[in-house]
Amino acid sequence: MIQVEGLTRKYGSFTAVDDVSFVCQPGRVTGFLGPNGAGKTTTMRVMVGLTPPTAGRVTIGGHLYKDIPNPGRHVGVLLDASAQHAGRTGREILEIGARTMGLPATRVDEMIELVSLTPQEAKRRLRNYSLGMKQRLGIAHALLGDPSVLILDEPANGLDPAGIRWMRGLLKGYAERGGTVLLSSHLLHEVEQIADEMILIGNGRIVAQGDKKS
C-alpha cells in the first residue's frame, strides 16, 4: 500500500505539489492523471526518496522509502526510461540490478523474456534503443526484484498499440495477484482502460479521486 499524507513540495515561491493526500491499495491499479507539469512526477520522486518533501510524507507498506531494506525487492520504480547508462547493454543493466538485489542470474533471462526483448536486443547498448525498447527494459528492471508495489511514470510512452495492450495485461495481472500499482499518464483514455482507481491532479492539487466506476 502507498499512503500519501499532506504532501507539499515547493521550489522557492513555486508550489509544485500542494497538500496532496491519497492511498493506493493492494490488488488495484491506481491511475494518476493530469497534464504535463501538474505535479505527478514530483509526487513520485518524493515517494522514492529522490526529492525531499517540504511538508507531509509518503509511506510504502508503512515505511518511508529510505527505511526499506533492499528496496528493489519491495518497490519497483520506473520514472525515466532513459536514465540508465547509455553505454551499457540492456542485459548488463538488468544484471547489475540483479546483483545489487541479491537475485539469481536466471531472473534476468526471465525478465527479458517477460517484456519481449529478443536476445539480440538485450545485447544492444541502451543508446541504440528506441523509446519503446527503453520502456520495456525499464518495466523489466522495475519487476526484477518481484516487488509488491510498482510506481510507474508514463510507462506507455513510446510503446506502440500492441505494446500498450501488452503492458495493460501485464499490470492487470500483477494487481490481480495482490500487487499495488500506481501509474501516471496525461492521457485519460489510456488510464481509463487499465485503472481501478483514478486520481486527477492539476496545478499541484488533487482535483478528484475515487473508484473509476464512480
Q: Could you read off the pLDDT of 51-104 as tens digits, one per residue?
A: 999 999 999 999 999 999 999 999 999 998 777 788 999 999 999 999 999 999
**192 within some domain:** yes
Domain count, the chain: 1
The type of residue at 35 is: P
Q: Angle 110-144-78 (CA atoms, 0-180°, nearest 5)? A: 125
Residue 6: all three cell numbers together: 499532506
**155 within some domain:** no
**193 within some domain:** yes
Q: Could you read off the pLDDT of 96-141 as tens digits, one per residue?
A: 999 999 999 999 999 999 999 999 999 999 999 998 899 999 999 9
Q: What is the pTM of this model?
A: 0.93
Q: Angle 196-185-70 (CA atoms, 0-180°, nearest 5)? A: 80
Strand partners, 125: 89
Q: What is the CATH number of the domain that holds 25?
A: 3.40.50.300
Residue 82: all three cell numbers together: 532513459
Asked if residue 55 lies in contact with residue 42, where contact means CB atoms within 8 angstroms, the answer is no
Domain of 20 in residue numbering reads as 1-66+178-214
Residue 104: all three cell numbers together: 539469481
**191 within some domain:** yes
Q: Could you read off the pLDDT of 16-61 as tens digits, one per residue?
A: 999 999 999 999 999 999 998 899 999 999 999 999 999 999 999 9
**208 within some domain:** yes
